[in-house]
Amino acid sequence: MKYPAFIEAHRAVVERGLERLLPGEDVPPASIHRAMRYSVLGAGKRIRPALCLEAAGLFAGSFMGRDDSPQLTDEAPEPLVTELLTEGPVVMAQFSAEEIEDGYFDGADPERPRMADIVPVACALEFIHCYSLIHDDLPALDNDDLRRGRPTCHKVFGEAHAILAGDALLTLAFQTLAQARLTAKRSVRVLAEIATAAGTVEGMVGGQVADLEAENKPVDAAALEYIHRSKTAALICVSVVAGAIVGGGTDDDVERMRRYGQNVGWAFQVVDDILDVEQSSEALGKTAGKDAAQKKATYPALYGIEESRRIASQLVGKAMIEADHYGDRSLGLRQLAEYLVTREA
């Protein structure tokens, strides 16, 4: 299945947001900004930002790229919208003391953020994802030469710059989140959720550690589940959770999105394991067949390809039940879930 057509609209806005939120490559020290931009502005699928925007749209009532998208088509652009959607100057969101005090911007309804205010949150998730890819490719971890169809960051800029570019993207993510135009309450909640998902306790770094330590060892189903849910699903899950929070979902909505996200995130890594076996490096834009070569803990290794496919479909089925709660309004999240299990790269 191709990337769902209307999600392409999210992707276009996210690309522009990433471009503008990253320091320019002439900004000193230019070498680190070149490395950051090289890694972020490559051919990523932008799945995490798309999930975030789609979840936010579900609750904020704005659906970019579709006929019912009043906030982006009908309303006069505000400064950040202008920065993100037109050829304006590259600036981070700037706030007066009053705006920070209010936790919002310009008298707009704090309960109904514009999608353009949510784009920085979506971009922050992509910054964290890109940091994890840069570090994952380093010689001390996966030692890979190919990422998104191009030489990896350390191959082009050297190891020191790759380590620092990863660090800088993680830091930029939290700067971006802290400067996003959200109510103070939503802002703090989202910061805590994303920091936790990127961290060590059932988060991305913890999953990566467990993955490393499982190499060359027999791994049971529970250990494999822990690795996949922490290493990959946590960031995917928090993408929809953050979207639900900033979009104004209730606590029940946020928890429903968490269940949706846990299931699609887990399914995403199961499919990633399958693609590593079945696809070529050219199709994936990264080195295929590495899991078996490195004796990694994967679903195909433990269950075989067919059973892995069944597990992925079952997980997506569970996510669909959560999305179905919102009827037609969750069409985007349902299409994204379907894409994640049927994708070929």
- Residue 18 vs 64, nearer CB to ligand GRG: 18
Cα separation of 143 and 272, whole Å? 18
Angle at 212 between CA 319 and CA 224, to 5 degrees: 35
Cα separation of 327 and 308, whole Å? 29
Q: Contacting ligand GRG (CB under 6 A), which of 122, 133, 210, 241?
A: 133
Cα separation of 197 and 304, whole Å? 29
CB 147 within 8 A of CB 137: yes
Cα separation of 342 and 200, whole Å? 30
CB of residue 261 to ligand GRG, shortest distance in Å: 14
Q: Contacting ligand GRG (CB under 6 A), which of 16, 31, 37, 45?
A: 45
Contacts of residue 171, Cβ cutoff 8 Å, sequence gap at least 6:
none
Q: How many residues bind ligand GRG (CB under 6 A)?
A: 17
Q: Is 205 in the site for ligand GRG (CB under 6 A)?
A: yes
Candidate segments 188-196, 201-209, 244-252, 287-295, binder of ligand GRG by CB under 6 A: 201-209
Q: Contacting ligand GRG (CB under 6 A), which of 62, 71, 132, 335?
A: 132
Q: Is 136 in the site for ligand GRG (CB under 6 A)?
A: yes
Place of tokens 């994708």: 343
Q: Contacting ligand GRG (CB under 6 A), which of 179, 230, 232, 263?
A: 232
Contacts of residue 310, Cβ cutoff 8 Å, sequence gap at least 6:
none
Q: Is 204 in the site for ligand GRG (CB under 6 A)?
A: yes
Q: Is 214 in the site for ligand GRG (CB under 6 A)?
A: no
- Residue 9 vs 205, nearer CB to ligand GRG: 205
- Bridge partners, residue 146, by sequence: 151
CB of residue 116 to ligand GRG, shortest distance in Å: 22
For residue 185, with 0-12 CB atoms within 10 Å meaning exposed, 13-18 middle and 19 or more buried, which class applies?
A: exposed
Q: Is 261 in the site for ligand GRG (CB under 6 A)?
A: no
* Sites for ligand GRG among residues 271-290 (CB under 6 A): 272
Which among 289, 290, 309 is positioned nearest to 299, based on CA atoms? Answer: 309
Q: Is 161 in the site for ligand GRG (CB under 6 A)?
A: no
Q: Tell me whether strands 150-151 and 146-147 are parallel, antiparallel or unpaired.
A: antiparallel
Q: Contacting ligand GRG (CB under 6 A), which of 39, 187, 208, 298?
A: 208
Q: Is 187 in the site for ligand GRG (CB under 6 A)?
A: no
- Say which DSSP state 220 is in: -
Judged by the rule CB under 6 A, the positions of this chain that interact with ligand GRG are 44-45, 47, 129, 132-133, 135-136, 141, 148, 204-205, 208, 231-232, 269, 272
